[in-house]
Amino acid sequence: MFACGLATHYSPSTKLPIIETQLSSLATKDWSVVESFLAKYSTDPKCPKSTSVLHRFEVLNKCFGHDTVEEIMEALEAESARSEDKWCVSTLKKLRAAPPLSLKVSLRSIREGRLQTLEECLHREYQMTVQAITRQISNDFSEGVRTRLVDKGSVPKWNPCCLEKVSEDMVDAYFSPLNAYEPELDLFANFPEAYHVY
């Protein structure tokens, strides 16, 4: 998380209880106060293992820097054939086993999330989750649960069955407003203003 830039500080888990206790009493809107507090308990993180994906940024950018899932998979196929890289082969295998619709929805969600706040991302993820579990667009979520937990080892029947059959309308539906019967996500309604996400 730290190496990817998703975390601002690193601290050993043994320090977390004291950080949580003292941070909960630190009521302020001034981020520099929180920054100074966290820095006091931070240490340099250990370098990731040599097998970590963090050492593969060049391949990641080369393969995942494309606009569509189809292009990403083609790039992974080419890289796998060229280098016989185990990580590329494994990643490609996992993508081929995933529901085609979910791959396209996930790619769009990641792309939209780059320009959104945490609160906007949480709203989007909640909306997508509700759309998935209500089965109004596709039965893929239930099918995945069935094949993983109920009929273990069976081959899932995704709908649509391949990337070419996933329409833009299907992807758009995951990002459309929820119907009147579904509850909206009300984040931070009971928290003081100081804890709101901006």
Taking only the tens place, the pLDDT of each residue in 181-196 is 888 877 765 555 544 4
pLDDT the model gives residue 70:
97
pLDDT at 47 over 80: no
Q: Of the spans 2-16, 77-91, 161-175, which averages the highest pLDDT?
A: 161-175
pTM of the predicted model as reported, rounded to 2 decimal places: 0.74
- The terminus-to-terminus CA distance of the chain in angstroms comes to 20
Confidence of residue 112 (pLDDT cuts 50, 70, 90): very high
pLDDT the model gives residue 152:
86
Per the structure block, which two tokens stand in for 17? Answer: 């209880």
pLDDT the model gives residue 5:
75
Taking residues 46-55, report their average pLDDT.
Answer: 77
pLDDT the model gives residue 28:
78
Taking residues 131-136, report their average pLDDT.
Answer: 89
pLDDT at 38 over 90: no
Q: Which residues contact 35 (CB under 8 A, 6 or more apart)?
A: 8
Within 10 Å of residue 80's Cβ, how many Cβ atoms? Answer: 19
pLDDT at 129 over 80: yes
Radius of gyration, CA atoms only, the chain: 21
User: Residue 158, SS3?
Assistant: coil
pLDDT the model gives residue 141:
92
CA distance 31 to 191: 17
